[in-house]
Amino acid sequence: MTPPRRVLYLSPTAQLGGAEHSLLDLAAGLDRRRYEPRLLCLGDGPLLGAALGRGVDATIVTTPAAFARTSLRGSRTAVARLLGSTVRALPTFVAIRRAARRLAPALVHSNGNKTHLLSAPLALAGRLVVWHVRDFLPDRRPERLLVRLANAAVAALVANSSAVAAHLVRLGARPALVHAIPNGIDVSRFDPDGPRADLRAAFGWPEPTRVVGMVGVLARWKGQEVFLRAAREIAGRTRDVRFVVVGGEIYQTSGHGDFAAALRRLARELELDGVVAFAGHRDDVPEVLRALDVVVHASTEPEPFGRVIAEAMACARPVVWARGGGADEIVGATGLAALGVERGNPAALAAAIARALAEPDAARRWAREGRVRIAERFDIDRHVERIQELYASLTGSGG
Ligand code: GLC
């Protein structure tokens, strides 16, 4: 029997957002008789312990602060600065190359733009490198360059939705290189039945309060501001609804920072004291989702995938969601389509939340359809299988 082939995963961060949870589910889910995962993170953080806890060998490489703050998302990073900080990341690149030599992986699988860039020289030197693209890359010079680099050197581009895949092709990626493989959800962990977080007790809310919540990284484009404005509209009409914002400001890239404080200020300005609570980062996401009467997704930009929508659906929660990108693909033609709203529109968001609250029977029915859809089409096992099929086709090791 051939020994398992090693896969070296590269993560640009050791924080735990959707991209990292998805990577971890994949790495931990690999068939160990065939593949042996190793994880290398740029910088320290909770991903490291989480990986080790799930049997994935993980180490860190340090990275200069200026490079850690660089982000390709949106227009936050000017080309010149990106190049400048890339040069400063040379020691990081050397550390990655050394790790690749030592571990001799059959494949390198990069999970974000920065490690895409840093793995390109390995690809050019002949190593099998896969880039997992989890963002809509802006249509600008540095990103088009990145795509050209991929065409020249990378073995495969995995996109986390068909929308991201189509966007990559629009940016110039060779269609044959691009594989749309949606994320998978562990539907036994994200299950409708199971313990619920006691949010009412935590925030001193009266029974019987209905709770509407947003779960996810605190970032401008995730739309927590839109959510607060929608909460304002609903709170003006109904007294027994409370709102909770769950999530931390975990990414340290430029364009992030001070957003949590700005949100709290906005909540005060909107006179939402006692109506909105900020729960911070939570590790018990299934418990939190199960405690919510309505889950809200409010991204103001098209969502590349939208993991929280799938997690909430797996827990059979009614989800109000912002249309576009991967979100449309997750929800599909389930009854939850009725709760899809225009992005960045607080009034539309408030109307959909109000509808979910006013029609609990319909909302429950739609939510059950959501659970079925995730279990049938977005199960983590299916995701791992598809990635392993891709690995097999790239390494030429059969099925
Ligand atoms: C990124 C995307 C998000 C997706 C996650 C997992 O964080 O922004 O849409 O759910 O990656 O692929």
Residue scoring higher pLDDT (144 or 267): 267
Provide φ and ψ at 101, rounded to 5°: -65, -45
**Gap from CA of 119 to ligand 1 centroid (Å):** 20
Report which residue type is found at 253: T
> Best of 161, 307, 323 to mutate for ligand 1, by most ligand atoms within 8 A of CB?
307
Residue 78 has pLDDT above 60, yes or no: no
> Which residues form ligand 1's pocket by a CB distance below 6 Å?
17-19, 22, 134-135, 160, 183, 303-307, 326
**Gap from CA of 326 to ligand 1 centroid (Å):** 9
What's the Cα-to-Cα distance from 103 to each of 24, 36, 53, 60, rounded to whole Å? 19, 11, 21, 14
The percent of residues in the chain predicted with pLDDT above 70, rounded, is 93
**Gap from CA of 159 to ligand 1 centroid (Å):** 10
> Best of 9, 72, 160, 313 to mutate for ligand 1, by most ligand atoms within 8 A of CB?
160
Q: pTM, whole model, 2 decimals?
A: 0.94
DSSP state of 393: H
**Gap from CA of 183 to ligand 1 centroid (Å):** 9
What's the Cα-to-Cα distance from 274 to each of 239, 303, 323, rounded to whole Å? 11, 30, 30
Q: What is the mean pLDDT of residues 183-212?
A: 95
> Best of 131, 134, 256, 329 to mutate for ligand 1, by most ligand atoms within 8 A of CB?
134
pLDDT tens readout for residues 135-174: 999 998 888 989 999 999 999 999 999 999 999 999 999 9
Q: What is the pLDDT of residue 76?
A: 46
Q: Which three-class secondary structure state does DSSP give residue 364?
A: helix
Average pLDDT, the chain: 93
**Gap from CA of 372 to ligand 1 centroid (Å):** 22
> Best of 115, 305, 319 to mutate for ligand 1, by most ligand atoms within 8 A of CB?
305
Q: What is the pLDDT of residue 253?
A: 63
CA–CA separation, 222 and 344 (whole Å): 10
CA–CA separation, 57 and 55 (whole Å): 6
- Please state, as a whole number, how many other Cβ atoms lie within 10 Å of the Cβ of residue 259: 17
CA–CA separation, 356 and 364 (whole Å): 9
Q: What is the pLDDT of residue 271?
A: 97
**Gap from CA of 160 to ligand 1 centroid (Å):** 7
**Which atom of ligand 1 is least distant from the CA of 307?**
10
* DSSP tally for the chain: helices H, then strands E: 17, 13
Q: Whose alpha carbon is nearest atom 4 of ligand 1?
A: 305
- Please state, as a whole number, how many other Cβ atoms lie within 10 Å of the Cβ of residue 67: 24
Q: Whose alpha carbon is nearest atom 6 of ligand 1?
A: 19
**Gap from CA of 302 to ligand 1 centroid (Å):** 11
**Gap from CA of 27 to ligand 1 centroid (Å):** 16
Contact 133, 112 (CB under 8 A): no
**Gap from CA of 306 to ligand 1 centroid (Å):** 6
**Gap from CA of 19 to ligand 1 centroid (Å):** 5
Q: What is the pLDDT of residue 82?
A: 65
**Which atom of ligand 1 is least distant from the CA of 325?**
9
Q: What is the pLDDT of residue 399?
A: 45
Residue 343 has pLDDT above 60, yes or no: yes
Name the band, by pLDDT with cuts 50, 70 and 90, for residue 44: very high
pLDDT tens readout for residues 201-214: 999 998 889 999 99
CA–CA separation, 371 and 35 (whole Å): 30
Q: Whose alpha carbon is nearest atom 11 of ligand 1?
A: 19
**Which atom of ligand 1 is least distant from the CA of 21?**
6
